[in-house]
A and B are shown apart, each in its own frame.
Chain A
Amino acid sequence: NAGVTQTPKFQVLKTGQSMTLQCAQDMNHEYMSWYRQDPGMGLRLIHYSVGAGITDQGEVPNGYNVSRSTTEDFPLRLLSAAPSQTSVYFCASSYSLATTPYGYTFGSGTRLTVV
C-alpha cells in the first residue's frame, strides 16, 4: 500500500547509544518531515526537507541529524541518545511544503525509549 513507512516500530536504547529511524514514502512527495509527540506537547517539528539534498531545522532539532539523498527516504539519526529523547516519532510527507487541502501524510510512528 502506498504511504509513509517507518521502521522500527519500537526501540529501546541505552543512554549514549546512536541509532537511525528510517522513513520511506512511495508517493513521490517532495516535502518530508520528522515530528516528535510528547504528552501535553502535541506534535513538534524536528527537521524537514523540501527535496533531495535540502534539509532544514524545525522547532526542536538538537540531538538529531537528517539527510535526504533520495526523494523517497528521509532518515533521522540520534547521535547520542538521552532520556529526554524518549518519545514517539512520526515521519510525514506531502507534495510540497505549502499546505494542500489534505495536509501531510503521516507514518504510523516509532516509539523510542532511552534508558
Chain B
Amino acid sequence: DQQVKQNSPSLSVQEGRISILNCDYTNSMFDYFLWYKKYPAEGPTFLISISSIKDKNEDGRFTVFLNKSAKHLSLHIVPSQPGDSAVYFCAASGESEKLVFGKGTKLTVNP
C-alpha cells in the first residue's frame, strides 16, 4: 500500500509561470514532509520541508503548502526556470520513523 502518492508522473510548464507539484499521503501519523529534487545522474538533494504544525513554508521561489485535513501537500515554484527541470520526490515520516518516498514527478520547464 503506497503511503505517499504523486499521481502526476510528469508536468510541463513555460518559463516564468508557476509550477505546482502535488502529493497525497494516507498515514495520519506522518508529521514531517519533505521535497527532494533530482537531476539525471545525480543523487536526490533536499529542497524544502514542512512540519505538520505548519501549513506553509517558503524558501525563495519555493513554497510548500500542507493541508492536513485533506492529507495533501503541494510544492509551488514561482517563477519557474529551465534549471528547475528535474524529478521531484515528495517524502514523509512519522516520529522516529524512516522517510517514505513517492514515485516522483518529472518537471520540464520550457524556455
Contact = CB atoms under 8 A, between A and B. Distances in A.
B108 interface: no
Contact of B101 (A4, A42, A105): A42
Contacts of B9: 40
A42 B99 contact: no
Contacts of A102: 46, 49
A108 B34 CA distance: 19
B89 A43 contact: yes
A90 B44 contact: yes
Interface in A29-52: 33, 35, 40-45, 48
Contacts of B95: 98
Nearest to A111: B41
Contacts of A41: 103
A99 B39 CA distance: 23
Interface residues of B, number: 25
Contacts of A16: none
A75 interface: no
B91 interface: yes
Contacts of A64: none
User: Considering residues A4, A42, A45, A107, which has the most beta carbons from chain B within 10 angstroms of its beta carbon?
Assistant: A42
Contacts of A109: 41-43
Contact of B34 (A4, A48, A98, A99): A99
A73 to B, nearest CB: 17
17 contacts: A33-B98, A41-B103, A42-B6, A42-B102, A42-B104, A43-B89, A58-B98, A90-B44, A98-B96, A101-B32, A102-B49, A103-B49, A103-B99, A104-B46, A106-B44, A108-B42, A109-B43
Interface of B: 6, 9, 32, 34, 36, 41-46, 49, 51, 89, 91, 93, 95-99, 101-104
Given A92-B43, A106-B36, 15 more contacts: A33-B98, A40-B103, A41-B103, A43-B44, A43-B89, A44-B101, A45-B98, A98-B95, A99-B93, A99-B99, A101-B51, A102-B46, A103-B49, A104-B99, A106-B45
